[in-house]
Amino acid sequence: MKGAEPRSLMPEAKSIVVLAHDYYKTSFPEELLGRIGRLYQARAYIAPPHRLNGARRQLMKEFLEKNGCQVLADPFIPARLSAARAGVATYGRSTFAFAEGIGSFIVIVPFLVDKELEYDRSTMEVKCPPKCAACIDACPTGAILEPLKMNPFRCIAFNTFTTQDGRTGGISSYIPPDIREKMGGWIHGCDLCQEVCPRNQKKLKATLPPDEFLTKIAKGFDLVKLLKLPDEFFAQTVHPLMYNYISDKKYFRRNAAIAMGNSGDSSFVPVLAESMEEADGMVRSHVAWALGKIGGSRARRVLETSLARETGQSTKKEIEAALGAA
């Protein structure tokens, strides 16, 4: 990782300034929990200037520059490690960074500067309760291998948004079947390890004001619309939440199909059948998996019809595997 050596990004760098933004300032609608990670509901990650986190980032950059610093904002460096080295956060066994009184619901924003500064005490420590393994036990895919060690390729959140063609070298947009069946209803992100963490319970149990935008979109947020993803629904509901990660609709459709399959709800078979006719090959593959997961005679008939007309070899294999499961 190039950013592990900050001077490879900014040769004149001498210090790292770190901000931690608490994005858990409002409540989150029940309809979106278990579907969209709180970080993305808060629209806080890589936030644009009109969001609070984005405005604070810009103010800090301007402050540093006015005080004679050359600044590289948001460099691609290990953010959690930087926060701990800067005394802003401590570690959790989940590998998440925790800020005092906030928990792990933070966005870390580092800045490289060309000045030596007066440095705070490093907080490179784990402050979890003794022998607590709640996060490790809660992870359905076993992504947290042991304290402070995780495999991102097994992380549900990683698979929902990172597995995009061309986004990260060597990573396929086809989510492995053993990961799919453990994704539950998650569409974008995952909060399971954070939800069980004792260090987050104060924040999770706090009474907070609602977010008007989230309250509005939650009422119409459903898997059928996500699978079909008409332009208006995408523009008004989906893109405002995930503007910084995904612009291609097919990845949301893929994730919606997986969630439908994991629901086991046979009422989804008709809309899945429609997608077997019109979606691209990657989506069809995951739709086929969903039909096999739901099972039943209707799903089997759809798969058999789809297999007869399918021309893509990888999708054919998915349909054949789904027929074996249906």
Q: What is the CATH number of the domain that holds 241?
A: 1.25.10.10
Task: Identify the residue with better confidence: 245 or 220.
Answer: 220
Inside any domain, residue 142: no
- Residue 276 confidence (pLDDT) above 80: yes
Burial of 245 (0-12, 13-18, 19+ CB in 10 A): middle
Inside any domain, residue 205: no
* Residue 249 bridge partners (DSSP): none
What is the distance between the alpha carbons of residues 306 and 309, in angstroms, rounded to a whole number?
6
Spatial CB neighbours of 321, under 8 Å, sequence gap ≥ 6: 177, 288, 289, 292
At residue 319, φ and ψ (nearest 5 deg) are -65, -45
The pairing of beta strand 144-146 with beta strand 149-150: antiparallel
Instruction: Give the domain-ending residue among 70, 87, 113.
Output: 113
What is the distance between the alpha carbons of residues 116 and 192, in angstroms, rounded to a whole number?
40
- Residue 244 confidence (pLDDT) above 70: no
pLDDT band at 278 (very low <50, low <70, confident <90, very high): confident
Q: What is the mean pLDDT of residues 94-111?
A: 96
pLDDT band at 247 (very low <50, low <70, confident <90, very high): confident
Inside any domain, residue 160: no
Q: What is the mean pLDDT of residues 186-210?
A: 97
Instruction: Give the domain-ending residue among 70, 97, 113.
Output: 113
Among residues 142, 152, 148, the alpha carbon closest in space to that of 127 is found at 148
Structure-token match 């004001």, residue found: 209
Burial of 118 (0-12, 13-18, 19+ CB in 10 A): exposed
Inside any domain, residue 300: yes
Inside any domain, residue 169: no
Spatial CB neighbours of 287, under 8 Å, sequence gap ≥ 6: 227, 257, 272, 275, 276, 279
Residue type, 196: V
Residue type, 260: M
Domain that holds residue 12: 2-113
Whether 257 contacts 289, CB under 8 Å: yes
Q: What is the mean pLDDT of residues 275-303?
A: 95
Instruction: Give the domain-ending residue among 113, 133, 166.
Output: 113
Question: For residue range 46-94, what is the model confidence (pLDDT) as tens digits?
Answer: 777 777 888 889 999 999 999 999 999 988 899 999 999 999 999 999 9
Give the 3-state secondary structure of residue 112.
strand
Inside any domain, residue 126: no
Show the tokens assigned to 33: 């929990």
The total number of structural domains in the chain stands at: 2
Inside any domain, residue 233: yes
Whether 38 contacts 130, CB under 8 Å: no
Inside any domain, residue 268: yes
